[in-house]
């Protein structure tokens, strides 16, 4: 489990607008992925902060070791 990035302190689920993947910060171990999302400015928190809401917006839960190609970020 990783510590929450300061930019996403109030969130459990963080979406990457480039890949349409959502990361569960309570189980995700790769800090580099979350730091990259934050530094690139392509992260998205969900309200309510739930996997159901992320899926409702078209996001898929990220799986360690699998990456999708980057798309143009949605606004």
Question: 22-73, pLDDT tens digit by residue?
Answer: 999 999 988 899 999 999 999 999 999 999 999 999 999 999 877 666 666 5
Whole-angstrom distance, CA of residue 72 vs CA of residue 51? 23
Give the per-residue pLDDT at 8: 84
pTM for the complete prediction?
0.82
pLDDT at residue 2 tops 60: no
pLDDT at site 5: 72
Per-residue confidence (pLDDT) for residue 6, from 0 to 100: 80
Note whether 59 and 22 are within 8 A (CB). yes
- Structural domain spans, the chain: 6-61
């Amino acid at each position: 489990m990783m510590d929450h990035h300061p930019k996403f302190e109030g969130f459990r689920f963080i979406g990457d607008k480039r890949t349409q993947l959502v990361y569960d910060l309570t189980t995700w171990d790769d800090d580099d992925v979350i730091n990259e999302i934050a530094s690139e400015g392509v992260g998205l928190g969900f309200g309510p902060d739930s996997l159901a809401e992320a899926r409702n917006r078209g996001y898929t839960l990220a799986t360690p070791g699998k990456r999708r190609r980057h798309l143009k970020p949605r606004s």
